[in-house]
Structures are given as C-alpha cells and as structure tokens.
Structure 1
Amino acid sequence: MSHVRVAYETFQKTAPGAQAALLAMGKSTEESGLDKSIVELAKLRVSQINNCAFCLQIHLNVARRLGLAQEKLDLVATWHEAGIFSDREGAALAWAETLTRLADRSVPDEAYAAVRDHFSEDEVIALSVAVANINAWNRLGAAFRFAPPIAKKVAAAAA
C-alpha cells in the first residue's frame, strides 16, 4: 500500500502560486462554454492513464454532481468498447488520450482532424487546455501521492 509523500494541504501552503496558476488554468476551461460533462470525462480518462487517485476521485465527485450516468463513469476506462459514449464524447476521449500519451511521438494530423470533426477550433483549444491542466495536476498528485478525498474521510473516521 502506498503512502502520502506530501499532503495536498502542504502543497497548497508551499506552492500557492503554482496552485493558483493551475486553478486559473482550470477556470479558463470552465469559462469557455465547453460542455462540463465532456471535460470531466476527459479528466477522468487522463487521471486513469496517469494513475492519479487524488484527481480521479475529485473528478468522479464532480462528474456525479453534474449527473453523468453511472454506466459512463464505470466504463470510461474502456470507452472504445463500451458502446455507450456519443461520437462527440468518444472524440474528446480519444483526443485526451492522444495528448496524454506523447512520449516519443507527436500528435498525428489524423487525431487533430478527428477531434475537429466534432468540436470547433475554440472548443478544441478549451479541451486541450483542460487536458494539459489535468496532466499537470496528475503529475503532482502522483508524485506526492496526495490522498484522495474519500481516503481522507476514512482516515479521519478511523482516528
């Protein structure tokens, strides 16, 4: 079982400028008008790929508050095979995966063309900012092993 290396609260106190910048970046996506459900699905998928339990739990909580279907939350990891995601959701998930898995490759023109089939240029920019933002959060959350919000409640109840 892994343990917290740095508490999220310590990160907040130690790097308030970094936290503020990441929150501001997220706010820009919220203000873009892009469908929040699509953004949350993308954040969930990226957080799964990056193994960030902290971000995964946060975005599951947000997705539930938005009313995303439980079936979609359950199957986002296997969205290709699930058959329950709209073409637009699938395009966002594919784009999120492409931008997250950049090691040793570039973003293919075909991937950009595919996302543009379902999103305007402004929406692709907003979606890309959201994916870049969650990737940054994931790297911090995974590096420091921030405790997922639910784990904090369980730990507090056990104390």
Structure 2
Amino acid sequence: MTHRPYIDKTHPEIYRAMNAAVLAGRKAYEDAGLPRDLVELVNVRVSQINGCPTCLSVHVPAARKAGVDALTLDLLPSWRHDTSGLFTSTQRAALGLAEALTAPQPGTGRPSVDTAVAEAATEFTEQQVSALEWAVILINAYNRISIGSGHPPVPQS
C-alpha cells in the first residue's frame, strides 16, 4: 500500500459513531457549564502534543472564535512555565488534566492522572472534570483518526 486509507471513509459507520460521541460530549460540556473557550484550549493543547495538523487547523481558529486570545494560543506550549499569570488557575487545571490523559508518563516529572484529576477537582465540579476528561479522550481519538489517515490541514477561508 503506497498511501494511507482515510479510515473515516473506509469505515464510515465507525466515524459516524465517533461524531455521535462528539455531539454527546458537547452536550455534556454545555450541561456541566464548561465554557467553549476552555474546551477549545484543551483541544488545541492535545492536538499540539499529538502533532495533528488537521485538528490544529480546525481547533486553533475555533479557539479564536470562542474568545481565546492570540497571546494565550502563542504561549500555550509553555503554559507550565508561564509566570506572568496569563493562564488562569482554571485553564492550568484543565491543561494539566489534558496533558496527563494525553501523554501519561510516570516517572518523567509530569503529574500523574491521579494528581491532575485531584488538581482539576479544586477548580471544577465532578461533572465538569468528567466532561473535560471526555473532551480530552474525544480529541485524542480524532487526532489519531487524522494522523492515521494522513488527513491534510483544513484550508482557512
């Protein structure tokens, strides 16, 4: 095989089920009272970690549209080292959870999932922590679909 099959096209029934899961996730974020800008910030960070150009081409503009400012997006890869106070405690808790669930690496100095969930619980309700975890899980799945398929970035209009 000389090309990667678009797995979303090869098995559309599975992709439709993923899309249904995303719609259920969006409802959970809204019902939990999570702001769209926070969910998009998480989507961008997970997509950065996974190196997914397709998802970044979708979620960076979505984050801007949701109200995430340019400086926050520019400095997102270095959020842990920000001493200016640019990232709020709520954003830091969500980003810590996103990183822990995306790249769990015991023994590397990164917080464990247990630690990240405990830190998130200081900023969010249990329903919100659960909805954030679903957001991370779902964007990770989409990253892998796009990376595995070799989807190109989405052109900006």
Compute the TM-score of the two structures, normalised by the length of structure 1: 0.80
Deviations 1:18-56 (A, max 9, x none): 343343244334433211111111111100011111111
Q: Equivalent residue for 2:36?
A: 36
Q: How does 1:113-124 map to 2 (within 5 A)?
A: 113-124=118-129
Give the CA deviation at 1:122: 0.9
- Distance in 2 (CA, whole Å) between partners of 1:66 and 1:12 is 32
TM-score where L is the length of structure 2: 0.81
| Residues paired across the two proteins, number | 150
d(CA) in 1 for partners of 2:152, 2:29: 25
Residue of structure 1 in register with 2:70 after alignment? 70
**3-state DSSP of counterpart to 1:150:** coil
Task: Identify if the C-alpha distance between structure 1 residues 109 and 103 changes in structure 2 by more than 3 Å, giving closer, same or farther.
Answer: closer
Alignment of 1:1-159 (within 5 A): 5-6=4-5, 10=9, 13=12, 15-32=14-31, 33-82=33-82, 83=84, 84-102=86-104, 107-150=112-155
Instruction: Tell me if structure 2 keeps the 8 A contact 1:26–1:130.
Output: yes
Cα deviation 1:107-158 (Å, max 9, x = unaligned): 443222111111111110111110010010011011112111127x7xxxxx
- Structure 1 residues 11, 60: closer, same or farther in 2, change over 3 A? farther
Partner Cα separation in structure 1 for residue 81 and residue 97 of structure 2 = 16
- Supply the AA of the counterpart residue of 2:136: V
Counterpart amino acid of 1:98?
A
- How far residue 17 of structure 1 moved from its aligned partner, in angstroms, is 2.6
Segment of structure 1 superposing worse, 93-102 or 17-26 = 17-26
Native 8 Å contact 2:40 2:63 kept in 1: yes
Q: Equivalents in 2 of 1:50, 1:95: separation in Å?
A: 15
Identity %: 34
Deviates more, 1:18-27 or 1:37-46: 18-27
- Give the distance between the partners of 1:92 and 1:107, measured in 2 at CA: 14
State the Cα distance separating 1:90 from its structure 2 match.
0.7
Task: Write the deviation string for residues 82-125 of structure 1: whole angstroms up to 9, x where unpaired.
Answer: 33101110111011000101367894432221111111111101
Say what the alpha-carbon RMSD is for the aligned residues.
2.8
